[in-house]
Structure 1
Amino acid sequence: MRRRSRKKPAAPESHERWLITYADLITLLMIFFVILYAMSRIDTQKYEVLAQSLQLEFRKSDTVIEMGSGVTGSLDRAQQPKPAETSEKVDKPDKEKLQEEAKRQMEQNLQDLLKVIQSYIKQNHLENKIFVADTSEGIAIRLSDQFLFDLGKANLKDNALPVLGKLASLFSTLHNTISIEGHTDNLAIQPGGVFQDNWELSAGRSLSVLRYFVDKAKIDPKKFKIAGYGDTRPVVPNTTNANRQKNRRVEITVLRSLDFK
């Protein structure tokens, strides 16, 4: 007879498997807290460097907030960049400032011109032939026809050239407009002459002075304007020969004006 083998009794079921899961959980928690601890540690030296760098950047004067006082609010406003202005706001004050400066310089030049001409007249004893004055229009220089022209003619005399040469040397440095006006007395022009009347004579005389400045002295013709007024603008009544002599003249005026463009 065969003997039946006995079955070995099954091993009792373990009730401590939860310890494995618990141990894994504890391990993970420990790792997690180690990481947190490591992240929470501060390198003081690196922190100070970072803090100073950020503070410097926030306090820089070239902050993107124009006219601001920096991100920290403690930046000196004197160091702030000025806000960008439109061209109109910039150009208008600048243009006005330039105009004012040009006017001051022009006035100074006119006063210097007046003094130089007065000194020239005195040194050359030309008080009876040249008169200069500061008028509302500008510096007016009145030249008698006695040394400029012969009676009834418009050709410049030789002794007038030094005076015109002196004036030309002064005019060449100015930027003002220069007016040249011819004037006569009220006596009628003798028939058979070059000019038909005092209008033509006064215009011809102013033109002769202009041609000297432009052709001889080589001054820019754009600086000048000329006119002939005949006997319509006397300085004194044409009642005597002396008065008529005063009315026969060429007036050169350096105008008190500048072209602003």
Structure 2
Amino acid sequence: MQILAPSIQTIPRNTEPPTEELRYLSGRKMFKKRKKEEGSHSSFMLTYTNLMMLLMTFFIVLVSMGRIQEEKVKIGMYSFREAFFSGGLGMLFGSKKPIDFKYLIQQERIKLQKKISTSLERALEKEKKKVEIVPVKEGIALRIPGEILFDLGKAELKPEAKKILDKLVPVFKKYN
């Protein structure tokens, strides 16, 4: 039995690639070298440029939405300022002066302090010498000496102190 070996032909270098016949005869597949694409660097730049354009569009949309909100806030602040601080009429037709709310609140507080102090004075008529009512910045202070409230060296209230405190309870309930 005779084994026939395919004949192998050598291909000189700087010539065309082997034909289909030669590939078959050599018994192995030969792969063609791929030509380098001339646009490979430009395809990377194209993708990068698309990404940058999308990012720029996204940030333009964000900034424009932020400006819309900012303009709404400015309009609201202007309206508020006109109504309360620049002498605008607001809801009080015919009024030319702006309302000084701090002054009004202070006057209401003074009236309330006077009412509370007169109520306390009425409740403590008999104990005027023992209890002192003093107006302070925060409201009204009651000064009751320790000798009236407690015996020396003890922590229990005297019966006389309980009577004074019982007279104060209705006033405190009334003005909360």
TM-score, normalisation: structure 1 = 0.28
Higher relative contact order (CA 8 A, sep 6+): 1
Q: Higher strand share goes to which structure?
A: 1
Q: Higher helix share goes to which structure?
A: 2
